[in-house]
Structure formats: structure tokens, C-alpha cells
Amino acid sequence: MTTDKVAITIDREVLKRLDRQVAERRFLNGSRAIQEAVGEKLTRLEHGRLAKEAAKLDRCLEQSMPEEGMQREKERPEL
């Protein structure tokens, strides 16, 4: 995995909590902890957006589409 170095500003209390987690060996180091946290947050946001878009779909229409295709196959003569 290719990584890039960045500088961030972080709340002092959050940093203390992060340092405790590293000291308790829950993370290899602070960089790894932040990398995992950001990755997890982005995944949740992306999945949340997908769920919102899926909620916009017309459930009845979506369910009827596969049935339509199956009906056409039944009507088509065998080769």
C-alpha cells in the first residue's frame, strides 16, 4: 500500500485518548489508528449514501423487472 504523509490538527483531548489506545497496544501507532479511523468513517459515509440512493428506488417497479424478464423467457420458443 502506498502512503502519503500529511499534517493534521487534532483536539488535545482526542490526542490523549489516541495515545492511551496506542499505549494499550490497541494500535501499532498513532498514524495507523488515524488511518483506520478515517477509512472506517469514509466507508460508513459511502454506505450511507448508497442506502439513501437505494431508498429512492420504487420497490414495486424493481421487483417487477426480474419477473418481466422471466415472463419473456417463458414466451420465447425453444431453439
Residue 68 in any domain: the answer is yes
Residue 21 in any domain: the answer is yes
Can you give the pTM of this predicted structure?
0.57
> Which runs of consecutive H residues, i.e. helices, occur in the chain?
12-23, 30-55, 59-75
Residue 5 in any domain: the answer is no
The confidence score (pLDDT) of residue 14 equals 96
Residue 49 in any domain: the answer is yes
Domain count, the chain: 1
Structural contact between residues 19 and 33, judged by C-beta atoms closer than 8 angstroms:
no
Q: Which residues contact 35 (CB under 8 A, 6 or more apart)?
A: 3
Query: Could you read off the pLDDT of 20-55 as tens digits, one per residue?
Result: 999 999 999 999 999 999 999 999 888 877 777 777
Its domain, for residue 62, covers: 12-75
Residue 2 in any domain: the answer is no
Residue 4 in any domain: the answer is no
The confidence score (pLDDT) of residue 64 equals 72
The confidence score (pLDDT) of residue 12 equals 97
Q: Give the residue among 11, 44, 13, 16 at the shortest CA–CA distance from 30.
A: 16
Q: How far apart are CA 78 and CA 70, in angstroms?
A: 14
The confidence score (pLDDT) of residue 73 equals 63
The confidence score (pLDDT) of residue 1 equals 77
Residue 3 in any domain: the answer is no
